[in-house]
Amino acid sequence: MPAPRVKKGKWSKDRERTKSGRWRKKRSDANQPRKVKKSKLRVALIAIGITIVAVVIIMIYFFFPGIIGL
């Protein structure tokens, strides 16, 4: 199936079909495998860990204020 025609520009030369049949811009690395994106799980675990530490410190401060000495 030929690329869709556009009156102005060189649209048909700058596009290619994907596996799903949609049109996309040609990339110089189109045949290269995509890089694996870093998981956001690590960032989420770090944020949860910092939150837990902060909550524990606040609980110690409220329940045992003599330990911190303030």
Q: Are 16 and 30 in contact (CB under 8 A)?
A: yes
Domains of the chain: which residue ranges? 42-70
Rounded Cα gap, residues 30 and 14, in angstroms:
12
Confidence of residue 5 (pLDDT cuts 50, 70, 90): low
% of the chain exceeding 70 in pLDDT = 66
Res. 12: pLDDT tops 60: no
Helices (H), the chain: 41-63, 65-68
Residue 54 is which amino acid? A
Tracing tokens 């290619």 back to the chain, one arrives at: 16
Confidence of residue 8 (pLDDT cuts 50, 70, 90): low
pLDDT for position 4: 61
What is the per-residue pLDDT across 22-51, written as a single tens digit (0 to 9) for each?
887 777 665 667 777 778 888 999 999 999
